Amino acid sequence: MALSLKIPLLGIPTLDYLAAQQPLLNMPMAAVLPAGRGRLAVGWYENKEGRWESMGAATIVTAEDLSAQINQPTYICGEFDAEERQTLSRKWKNAVVASPAHCLRHPAMLAELAWKRFQAGEQDEPISLAPIYLHVAEAIPD
């Protein structure tokens, strides 16, 4: 639609959108989204200059694998079910699991992120935007 209307188009990665609405803390953050079949897409973020900044490409893990990776105080936000929340909360010394209210995506935050990019004169070419598909090199868990 943006192409036919000749209006700017701005892509915002979902994990970045989720991370941006979290409180700024002095600890790493894992933003998670369901990836199907008991797996989570995880993006790691750090507080840099007053905003959450991605620390690399997202990965696919189970809640158990993510829990095993947490060895220091870490804020965890995102969309996970009650069982995954319980698994992550077991790391009570190091896992700070966001409240359910902070785990919802708020459309106003998406609009704010896009508006900042628009005001900075940024835009994306429609042909360059596509979903990001994360691949797993191992068998899908049962």
At 28-80, the pLDDT tens digits run 999 999 998 889 999 999 999 999 999 999 999 999 999 999 999 999 999 98
DSSP-derived letter for residue 133 is: P
Terminal alpha carbon distance of the chain: 40
Neighbours of 90 (CB within 10 A): 12
Confidence (pLDDT) at 141: 54
| pLDDT score for 132 | 72
Q: Is the pLDDT of residue 2 over 90?
A: no
DSSP of 58-77, one letter per residue? -EEE-HHHHHHH--S-EEEE
Structure confidence at residue 1 as a pLDDT band (50, 70, 90)? confident
Q: Is the pLDDT reported for residue 134 higher than 80? A: no
Please give the Cα distance from 138 to 91 (Å, whole number): 25
- Strand 29-36 and strand 51-54: the pairing is unpaired
80-114 pLDDT, tens per residue?
898 998 888 887 789 999 999 999 999 999 999 99
Identify residue 108 by its one-letter amino acid code. Answer: A
Side chain identity at residue 110, one-letter code = L
> 77, 18 in Cβ contact below 8 A?
yes
Buried b (16+ CB within 10 A) or exposed e, 116-133: ebeeeeeeeeeeeeeeee
CB 46 within 8 A of CB 56: no
Give bridge partners of residue 63 from the DSSP assignment: none
Q: The pTM is what?
A: 0.85
Q: What is the CA radius of gyration of the chain?
A: 16
